[in-house]
Amino acid sequence: MKETVSIIIPVYNEEKNIPMLLEKIDKVRAGLGRDMEVVMVDDGSQDRSFEVMKECKELLKGIAIRLIRFKRNFGQTAAIVAGIDNAKGGIVVTMDADLQNDPEDISALLSAIGEGYDVVSGWRKDRKDAFFTRKLPSNLANRLISWYTGVSLHDYGCTLKAYRKETFDGINLYGELHRFIPALMSWTGARIKEIPVRHHSRKFGKSKYGISRTLNVILDLVTVRFLLSSSKGPMQIFGRMGLFLCFGGFASGVATVIMRLTINMNMTGNPLLYLSIFLMIIGLQFMSLGLLGELNMRTYHRSHKRKIYVIDDMV
Q: How many C-alpha atoms does 94 have within 13 Å on its Cβ side? A: 28
Residue 181 forms part of a structural domain: yes
Q: How many C-alpha atoms does 74 have within 13 Å on its Cβ side? A: 17
202 and 276, same structural domain?
A: no
How many structural domains compose the chain?
2
Domain-ending residue, one of 231, 263, 279: 231
What does residue 120 show for φ and ψ, rounded to 5 degrees? -125, 115
Residue 58 forms part of a structural domain: yes
pLDDT at 315: 31
Residue 309 forms part of a structural domain: no
State the CATH number of the domain containing residue 58.
3.90.550.10
pLDDT at 161: 98
Q: Give the distance from CA 26 to its chain's centroid.
A: 28
221 and 134, same structural domain?
A: yes
Q: Residue 138, class by beta-carbon neighbours within 10 Å (0-12 exposed, 13-18 middle, 19+ buried)?
A: buried
pLDDT tens per residue, range 130-146 = 777 778 778 888 888 89
192 and 46, same structural domain?
A: yes
Residue 315 forms part of a structural domain: no
93 and 26, same structural domain?
A: yes
195 pairs with which residues across the strands?
A: 122
- Bridge-based pairing state of the strands 91-94 and 161-164: antiparallel
- CA 104, 110, 112, 115 dihedral sign is negative
122 pairs with which residues across the strands?
A: 195
Domain-ending residue, one of 231, 262, 277: 231
Residue 176 forms part of a structural domain: yes
Q: Rounded to whole angstroms, how far apart are CA atoms 254 and 273?
A: 9
140 and 91, same structural domain?
A: yes
66 and 15, same structural domain?
A: yes
186 and 259, same structural domain?
A: no
Instruction: Please check whether residue 194 is in contact with residue 154, taking contact to mean a CB–CB distance below 8 angstroms.
Output: yes
Residue 313 forms part of a structural domain: no
Render each residue's pLDDT in the chain as its tens digit; 315 residues.
688 999 999 999 999 999 999 999 999 998 888 899 999 999 999 999 999 999 999 988 878 999 999 988 888 988 999 999 999 999 999 999 999 999 999 999 999 999 999 999 999 998 887 777 778 778 888 888 898 888 999 999 899 999 999 999 878 787 778 889 999 899 888 999 999 999 999 887 676 655 556 666 776 777 777 767 655 566 667 778 889 999 999 999 999 999 989 988 888 888 899 999 999 999 999 888 877 876 776 676 566 655 533 444 443
Q: Which residues contact 229 (CB under 8 A, 6 or more apart)?
A: 237
Residue 190 forms part of a structural domain: yes
Domain range spanning residue 264?
233-304
Residue 48 forms part of a structural domain: yes
133 and 27, same structural domain?
A: yes
Instruction: Please check whether residue 210 is in contact with residue 133, taking contact to mean a CB–CB distance below 8 angstroms.
Output: no
What does residue 97 show for φ and ψ, rounded to 5 degrees? -100, 5
For the beta carbon of residue 115, count every other beta carbon within 10 angstroms. Answer: 10
Domain-ending residue, one of 203, 231, 259: 231
194 pairs with which residues across the strands?
A: 121
269 and 142, same structural domain?
A: no
Q: Give the distance from CA 189 to its chain's centroid.
A: 16
C-alpha distances in Å from residue 141, one per residue of 158, 179, 226: 12, 11, 18
281 and 161, same structural domain?
A: no
276 and 177, same structural domain?
A: no
101 and 21, same structural domain?
A: yes
